[in-house]
Structure 1
Amino acid sequence: MKLKIFSCFLYFFIPFAAFAEVIDFKGKVVDAKTNQALIGATVSIPDLRIAVATNINGEFTIKSIPTKGRFVVQVQYLSYKTLTQTVDFSSPAQMVFVLQPSVIESHEVVITGTPITSGSRSNSTSASVVTKEQLQGSSTNLIDALARQVPGVSQITTSQAISKPVIRGLSYNRVVTLNDGVKQQGQQWGDEHGIEMDQFAAGRVEVLRGAASLQYGSDALGGVINVIDPPTPAEGNIRGEFLTNYSSNNGLSNTSVMLSGNQNGFVCRGRGTYQNAYSFNTPAGRYINSGFNQTNVSGMFGLNKSWGYSHVNFSYFKDNIGFYDAEPGDPLYNDNTSRTIDYPRQDIRHYKIALNNNFLFGSSSLKLDLGYQKNQRRELEDSPTPNLFFDMNTYSLDAKYYLPESHGWHPVIGLSSSLGHSVNLGEELLIPAYDEYSTGAFIYSKKVWGQNTFSLGARFDYIKNKGKAQNDDEGNTIFTGFDNKFSNVSGAMGYTHIFNDVLSFKANVGSAFRAPNPAELGSNGVHEGTSRYEIGNANLSPERSYQADATLEYGSGFITGSFGIYENYIHNFIYASNTNKEQITVIDEESGLPRDYDAYRYGQVNANLYGFEGNLTLHPVSFIHFENTFSYTEAKNTSLNRPLPLIPAGTLHNTLRFEPKVKGLTDFYFYAGIDNYFKQNRIDATFETPTDGYTLLNAGIGATFNMGKQPLKLYVSGTNLTNKAYYDALSRLRPGRYSQEDPTYGVYNMGRNVTFGVYIPFGTNK
């Protein structure tokens, strides 16, 4: 029945768009100084999810573009400034894009994760773009790769395979992760629950910092990580890639293969990725049973036509992660390099299917994303039978209708809705079975005049959480159940001014909210992954955020950089804490022996987070780049006049990168860098311990070899080359995270690691 209703919906819309007049968008890309053609420049239209490379004459053709459409076009070429331009396709004239030679390649990039696609300089949201090339390297997962690249982004880690994103000090359900236009729903409330995504599947990643709840609703207080698939090739072409790498520290091997094509507007893509690692090595030894293996299979098929596009995306993600259930005083390290994962371990499986559409109606359009996800999280103590087993099913809808421009205003109205259903299938219980309903609507408009851009919007949300009551076999209450309803109105304003070609300013103010999640409302049990007893609170109120930020950006031939400040006051901030050293004794069912667990109760305080972030790159000559990024967050529990927990330490990353021209090679580079992490003494002393500052040395080298017409990229990268012994402030394995009674318990972060990689792109360019 659901399929029939949806089919009727599509048949209603497509005919009105199918008769749109179309043109072939033709053009040329040339050098601004010499007027010579640029071969292999990439021309893309993000809102149509299509890209093409210029031929030997610098020319390109993108077929079947609606004549009444206005789209942002992005033109990129190595060693040239990226060009973004809004093109009105009502005029069929051939266009010539003139690129300026520069060492600055990404000073202006397209941002699609905001309500209206636009260039980054005219977008008030503080955003960074991480390219596909930057995601390749010595990272162990997607979030690990982003934390190394983006100022203001860090990660809460559990061993090597699990990283939770932190943006400006906020994490868990306060950061939204998107893929295929659909919110990732993978039990984000858990301390040791990572993001079920393949880092190699992304064409690029946009990181939006600051409250983004206007478009994405509850849970986007801290920001949004928007994972964007690679664009489809132009008609009649295929595109593919093969990549593999190996890391010395943990034996991590990554292999990923992708193939995509476009035949008369029918597009398809398939990818397979496999990762395998044994226990990671620290300066003190290998952390016991910390290996993992990961399998991801994904695909896409659909249509790119004059009426827009309709794509079906699907994926299957499987992750096996080892844990070590140590007591304080137990040995933490050995020399075992077996790839067999022992118990206890996690078995995580995530299934997703999404239908992504963009229907064009002359000067208006409708973006519609429908999704279904099934997340199965098993925690296995000593056998294949899961002790904890969460089975979650989520249905989602997100629609945005773009109205025609009126008096310079570009209005958008949006509607989103989701239904989540979670059940417990394991023997042990932590959170109740629950149903979660949410719906929201927003209106947003943007006006550009001269060098100024102004935007404003408002949103209404309604969320209902219903937890199921449950008793044990003896009639004792395990979960009392809850039935909570939350609603909220939020708003936002943004302003951008471009002073000239090199200097721009942007600022935002707004409010946002987050409803308590089912774990915060109803937990009652031992969470094996965190070795603590968690107790929810059914009377929690929603979090309410009031946020402001401002950023100044500069980009010339010699200096590029940005500096931003922000403040985020959150009323009714929710977190679990262990107060008064409270413990709960639980009888182990197998041994019959008692075990004491620290009790963590969810409560609320008022909080204030503020800080700064930025980057500065110096280009003394064209082939030398001195890159620097920095970030600092101060977070205070204003109700109890003490710091908030799990706040990243201040960081300063310095990298000296050389890109000399070498005959016979392209994209040749080598670099050396140091990562400086400062002391983190601002902690919640009721259950956290401070961490010392440390400095890590990194280096790398790489180049692309042309074997005939086939490029072959080879690279080597090394991290922590001095094998420094350190504890990261956001590592859940650092001292004091499990027991205040034994602060000596702790696991060092990863030691020296060298990664060797190969990347081979291939395809046609007709």
Structure 2
Amino acid sequence: MNHLRFSIFTILFAIISSIAFAQSGVLKGKVTSSMVPKENVSVRLLKLNKSVKSDFEGLYLFENLPFGTYEIVFSAVGYQSKKQKIVIEGAEQILNIDLEQSASNLNEVVITGVNRATELRKSPVPIAVISKKTMDQNANTNLIDAIVKGIPGVSAVTTGPNVSKPFIRGLGYNRVLTLYDGLRQEGQQWGDEHGIEVDEYGVTRAEVVKGPASLTYGSDALAGVINMIPYHPNFENGRLKGDFTMNYQSNNGMAGSSIGLAYIKNDWKYIFRASGKTAHNYRNSVDGYVYGTGFREYNLSASARIDKKWGFSKTSITYYNNLMEIPDGSRDSLSRRFTRQVLDFGDDIKNRPIVPETDLTRYSINPLHQHIQHYRFYNTSQIKFSNSDLNLLIGAQQSVRREYNHPTMPAQAGLYVVLNTLNYDLKYNLPEFLGVESAIGINGMFQGNRSKAATDFPIPDYDLFDVGAFYFAKKSLGKVDISGGIRLDRRNIKWNDFYVGTNPQTGFGQQANSTNPTADLQFPSFNKSYYGLSGSLGFTYNISDKLLLKANLARGYRAPNITEIGSNGLDPGAHIVYLGNRTFKPEFNLQQDIGLIAYLKDADISFEVFNNNIQNYIYQSRLTDADGNPVVIVPGNLTYQYQQSKARLYGAEFSLNLHPSHLKWLSFNNSLSYVVGLNKNEELLNQFGEVAKYLPFIPPLQLRSELKFTSQASKGSFDKPYLKVDAAFSAEQNRFYGLDNTESFTAGYALFNMGLGSGIKSKSGKTVCDIFIQCNNIFDKAYQSNLNRLKYFEYYSASPNGRSGIYNMGRNFSFKVIVPI
């Protein structure tokens, strides 16, 4: 009987299965855009709530679909979605789709600060983008300088033309995380004169997150993130392509060039770039040529990428080499001509020889200079599954910094540190469930810093281990897009006893061991772990297709950096003695953002306001004695001690970009940014009042306007030439940290610039080159930015011309030519 029942069941199962099999089919096809295969397009069957993604050839496949009528939706970031009905009534059905790109900037794709590529309109976090085209149309002396000009709310603390440290809404240093191709940039970024080790000519786009991004990146993203994405020329199978850039700037004689090459063969893509630039001292109408501001920089980069149905893997290597002079601002008291240091012992900063005029325009690097080398080797890979993907980034970096500050022994480095970092980042984009896109991940780094044969030791040799895990999710509910997540971090910093003695042969300092009777314990051993809980929650309300309301609440975390807790010595390049505090706690902030964005027919409008409260805010303050006089530990160098207190920053950004639809050749772009930084240290406020009220390095109210005329057609050999006039207005900054003369009042100023450019085409219509001509500071305005560190390089209480400190760059013509290969 049991055998009979089993046989009947088997027969029935076979019949039902055969019927079901006969009633099911396959749906497949290819997704393209302008007939080019489109990868990562989401293909969804609404009736079954099933979805797949197209592969790198644009192919998609659904199997075992019951016969019937379905609605199928094709969607991709930056493209117009397509919905179509399809009837499955045979064994195999083919449906090919060609998507159109979306014209709205709201649909621009960003990859920074999100778990996967996301449209700008769907992200509640304030994110801004600047393209290579915009950067090429401005005269820049470094990459951060280009970003500052293009994105409101971003500023930079500068030390001459080649060092710009990014600030986002009044916060900088280790609070702004810089990325290169998604890999966090790790150099000696704690220093005032430590710039960003990235090739300006090799970046195609920069994405800026304005606000805490600790959720995705962990410590050091308290103020935001700047992701610099390398340039990839257009690929064409079996052909070598690329570009060659030539750039000259008149003010400091800067000459730069760069060549980029790209080759694709089937599944493999290869990219190579080599760049270099050199400059002598810059000049202005007050100081003349500013001694010690020349530089020479070289960059090399290469990558190889393979694309398969399972995903992709890209391996890249970069090399950065920069020789940069060290300005100290010493000059003759009467003529105000710059002087140079020629002695170590017995040096009198107010009695040095004057620099000959012929030396001010030489391209040779002074004996007193910095030598920065940065090596980067990393791999980015993605493994695709049916409805999810696994992303892995492994990167190794080495930063080598030498600062030569001994004129009697020019080959002896004052500072010589080597920083080795291993970064890891593992992220899994989970399958979509009930309309929720989510990701989990873990990332961090191993880091070790070692001093070599130096004479000055501002920081100890230390080891750092960083790890953090996060969960991020987003979902669309009708017109509302919601996203957020949570993260937990741990960072451990430790070092052993570090002794410093005196070299009996030279009289300079040197690293010593504990058995040396003349050695001093400069850095007692330290071992501490810091923990941080961060997260964010925000929404975007699509009032209409062109009007958005955004709101976001984010908590950021930052562990104290090495100088803030461990410094105890001279940084020769900064001319500052730093004193840290081993008891500091991590910084935490809670920031609220609200934004209204409209992309109308004739205008783009955005208005964003923010409020940022920080616990345990760390800042520098000049150290004075009981009589109010500056403490001098090393003659000719300032002494700063780190402080910690509560702080609050708030402000707004507004942009109005007019592009009349009936005047396509005209655009008028305007932006305004405003931030106030308040020191909430009640003890200081009660004791010193107004001079301690504000935070240091806060930019004043800034307004930028650009009027641009662009031809909509070619004019002979000129392809869509343009002419633009722009102006940058900075209000006076009377809200500064004035305690112990750390900062001073800065007068307002207005700078006017002009530029023109065009593509050049041959008779056959082929692009020969692109030409960009720009003049910055047309009227040669003498001005000082309150974020210019050279403003405070002054050794006299009064001067014959009534001017104090060093001024910013004067009039500067820039000529740039880009030739496609």
* TM superposition score category, shorter chain reference: 0.7 to 0.9
CA distance in 2, matches of 1:555, 1:667: 24
Contact 1:688 1:737 in 2 (8 A): no
1:477 aligns with 2:532: no
Correspondence for 1:433? 461
**What is the percent sequence identity of the aligned residues?**
32
Q: Distance in 2 between matches of 1:761 and 1:71?
A: 35
State the secondary structure of the residue aligned to 1:688. coil
Contact 1:367 1:399 in 2 (8 A): yes
SS in 2 for 1:407: coil
Q: What's the counterpart of residue 498 of structure 1?
A: 542
Residue 287 (str. 1) matches residue 290 (str. 2)? yes
Give the superposition deviation at 1:43. Answer: 8.6
Equivalent residue, structure 1, for 2:16:
none
Structure 1 residue 472: Cα displacement = 2.7
Paired residue secondary structure (1:441): strand
2:34 pairs with one of 6, 28, 40: 28
Provide the C-alpha distance between the structure 2 equivalents of 1:91 and 1:479, rounded to a whole number of angstroms: 73
Query: What residue identity is the alignment partner of 1:448?
Result: S
- CA-CA distance at 1:579 after TM superposition: 4.0
Change over 3 Å in CA distance of 1:414–1:22 after alignment to 2: farther
Q: What 5-or-longer segments of structure 2 have no aligned partner? A: 1-26, 43-53, 63-72, 85-91, 339-356, 502-517, 686-692
Kindly tell me: are residues 277 and 118 of structure 1, through their superposed partners in 2, closer, same or farther at Cα, counting changes over 3 Å?
same
Query: Match of 2:124, SS?
Result: coil
The answer to whether residue 317 in structure 2 is matched with residue 262 in structure 1 is: no
Which residue is equivalent to 1:674? 727
Whether 1:604 aligns to 2:652 is no
Label 1:85 to 1:219 Cα distance change in 2 as closer, same or farther (>3 A).
farther
Q: Is the alpha carbon distance of 1:366 and 1:62 closer, same or farther for their aligned partners in structure 2, counting shifts above 3 Å? A: closer
Once the two structures are TM-superposed, the CA of residue 325 in structure 1 deviates from its matched residue by: 2.8
Structure 1: 5+ residue runs without aligned partners? 1-20, 30-41, 49-60, 76-82, 588-594
Look up the SS of the partner of 2:134 in the other structure. helix
Using the TM superposition, name which of 319-328 and 421-430 deviates more.
Answer: 319-328
Relative to structure 1, the CA distance from residue 408 to residue 237 in structure 2 (aligned partners, 3 Å threshold; closer, same or farther) is farther
Q: Report whether the alignment pairs 1:359 with 2:359.
A: no
Equivalence for 2:709: 658
Q: Residues 96 and 602 of structure 1: is their aligned pair in 2 closer, same or farther, counting only changes over 3 Å?
A: same
**How does 1:339-350 map onto structure 2 within 5 Å?**
339-350=363-374
- CA–CA separation in structure 2 for the residues paired with 1:486 and 1:546: 18
Residues 540, 604 of structure 1: 8 Å contact kept:
yes
Q: Residues 482 and 521 of structure 1 are in contact (CA less than 8 Å); yes or no, is this contact kept in structure 2?
A: no
Contact 2:564 2:581 in 1 (8 A): yes
Q: Distance in 2 between matches of 1:638 and 1:596?
A: 32
Give the Cα separation in 2 of the matches to 1:505 and 1:116.
22
TM-score (norm 2): 0.81
**Preserved contact between residue 651 and residue 675 of structure 1 (Cα < 8 Å):** yes
Q: Which has the higher strand share?
A: 1
1:420 alignment partner AA: Q
Look at both structures and tell me which one has the larger radius of gyration over its CA atoms.
2
2:743 to 680, 684, 688: 688
Residue 385 (structure 1) shift: 2.3
1:111 equivalent in structure 2: 110
Give the corresponding residue for 1:196.
197
Deviation at 1:62, TM superposition (A): 8.8
The residue type paired with residue 695 of structure 2 is L
* Residue 756 (1) aligns with residue 815 (2): yes
SS of the aligned residue for 2:99 comes to strand
Give, as a single letter, the amino acid of the residue that structure 1 aligns with 2:208.
Answer: V
Residue of structure 1 in register with 2:597 after alignment: 553
Residues 316 and 378 in structure 2, CA contact (< 8 A), matched pair in contact too? yes
Aligned to 1:233: 235
1:281–1:347: structure 2 CA closer, same or farther, 3 Å change rule? same
Contact 2:577 2:633 (C-alpha < 8 Å) held by counterparts: no
Structure 1 residues 69-148: aligned runs within 5 Å: 73=76, 83=79, 93-98=95-100, 106-113=105-112, 114-136=114-136, 137-148=138-149
Aligned residue in 1 for 2:657: 617
- 8 Å contact from structure 2 (residues 212, 222) kept in 1: yes
Aligned counterparts of 1:300 and 1:445: Cα–Cα separation in 2: 32
Question: Alpha-carbon deviations, 1:697-730, whole Å to 9, x = none?
Answer: 1010111121232342112011100000000110
Q: Which amino acid counterpart does residue 416 of structure 1 have in structure 2? A: N
3-state DSSP of counterpart to 2:361: coil
The Cα of 1:582 is off from its aligned counterpart by 5.8
| Aligned partner of residue 643 in structure 1, secondary structure | coil
Calculate the aligned-residue CA RMSD, in Å: 2.7
Which aligned pairs between 1:162-177 and structure 2 lie closer than 5 A?
Answer: 162-177=163-178
**Candidates 427, 439, 449, aligned match of 1:422:** 449
Q: Is the contact made by 1:46 and 1:112 (CA closer than 8 Å) also made in structure 2? A: no
Match of 1:67 in 2: 60
Contact 2:758 2:771 in 1 (8 A): yes
Structure 2 distance, partners of 1:179, 1:92, is: 41
My pick for the range that moved more, 530-539 or 603-612, is: 530-539
8 Å Cα contact 2:484-2:537 kept in structure 1:
yes
| Alignment correspondent of 1:706 | 761
Query: In the alignment, what sits opposite 1:36?
Result: none
| Contact in 1 for aligned 2:292/2:328 (Cα 8 Å) | no
**Alignment partner of 2:734: what SS?**
coil
Q: Deviations over 1:100-150 (max 9, x none)?
A: 7x7xx6343101112231111111121111111122231011100000100
Compared CA separation, residues 464 and 517, structure 1 to 2 (3 A): same
- Aligned-partner Cα distance in 2 for 1:681–1:537: 29
Find 1:459's aligned residue among 487, 507, 510.
487
State the distance in 2 between where 1:737 and 1:362 align: 64
